[in-house]
Amino acid sequence: MNLKIAVLGAGVMGNGIAHSLAVGGFDVELYDPIEAARIGAIEQIRKNLAKGVERGKLSAGEADVALKRVKPAVTLAAARDCGLVIEAVPEEMALKHAIFKELSTVCPPATILATNTSALSITEIAASATEPSRVVGMHYFNPAHIMRLVEVVRGLETADRAVEVVESVAKQCGKETVLINEAPGFATSRINAMIGNEAFYMLMEGVASARDIDKALKLGLNHPMGPFEMIDLVGLDTRLKVLEYLHATLGEKFRPCPLLVKYVKAGRLGRKVGRGVYDYPDK
Ligand code: NAD
């Protein structure tokens, strides 16, 4: 499949998604309004590709070709001639609405519009696009260039063609997909947010230290990462937004733990800022 793809948002997820698409053979326009985010993302992709070469995942030549496929874009107009757009901007419905409304004027009707939202309603995001049938959820996992799953989420109006295009793109990039009928938090975020929130309640209650809760889940339950390591990777602000949404849609069992709220207020947002549950002095 030969398709030019726009990725909107060059943050934690945007750079990993662009990396995965470029290695899969797609030309990518990576748009972010913040110059530092665009520069940082290209640098991150370069570093991650180099790690891939060290680990024998791809050759140095393939990494060079992949890096050249990713073009930083300074306006949303870069999505104009793309067959697929993948949105990875912060988890706020108002922002997603503004972007999908603008995309409807920028892109021709055949362009498929995907969102990497962790939990929000695809149907609600699609309502701001002129053709809601072309909007579909394409939920990657962090780090997106390594994790193998993409949750494909069908909203109320999503057309079969939109599902087929994103499934083919994911497959070409070596990903596995699952097809989810829209529900808050899909399959993965719903369970993951619940585990992470419970871990925060346990920390707040003094049940054990963060290190020991992480160790317990890794060694006792065979989780590859502890819940606090995971939340530091995801971003505490992103996780809080997911929990707030699940609380509003699915009820009391998802009420965000006050300690998590406190950490976010303190600016302890995770690895991306050098401090979350744990400290990352090198960041
Ligand atoms: P992030 O904060 O790391 O990055 C968001 C980027 O979007 C920033 O660089 C910001 O400058 C940019 N941005 C802001 N407004 C924009 C606009 N109008 N147009 C284009 N770019 C804009 O966030 P993230 O963690 O990458 O999350 C992005 C999306 O992916 C969210 O919906 C989140 O829920 C979802 N998601 C996150 C994870 C995770 O582990 N972090 C996993 C799966 C899905």
pLDDT tens profile 58-115: 999 999 999 999 999 999 999 999 999 999 999 899 999 999 999 999 999 999 999 9
Ligand 1 proximity of 104 Cβ (cutoff 6 Å): no
- pLDDT for the residue 147: 96
**Extents of the domains making up the chain:** 4-181, 189-273
- 220 SS3 class: helix
Q: Same topology for domains 4-181 and 189-273, yes or no?
A: no
Distance 95 CA to ligand 1 centre (A): 11
133: left (phi over 0), alpha (psi -120 to 50) or beta: alpha
The phi, psi pair for 23, rounded to 5°, reads -65, -30
Q: CATH number of 4-181: 3.40.50.450, 1.10.3720.10, 3.40.50.720, 3.40.30.10?
A: 3.40.50.720
Instruction: Give me ligand 1 centre to Cα 208, in Å.
Output: 32
Q: What is the pLDDT of residue 217?
A: 98
pTM of the model: 0.90
d(CA 241, CA 224): 24
Residue type, 94: A
Please state which architecture CATH assigns to domain 189-273. Orthogonal Bundle (1.10)
* Per-residue model confidence as pLDDT tens digits over 215-259: 999 999 999 999 999 999 999 999 999 999 999 999 999 999 999
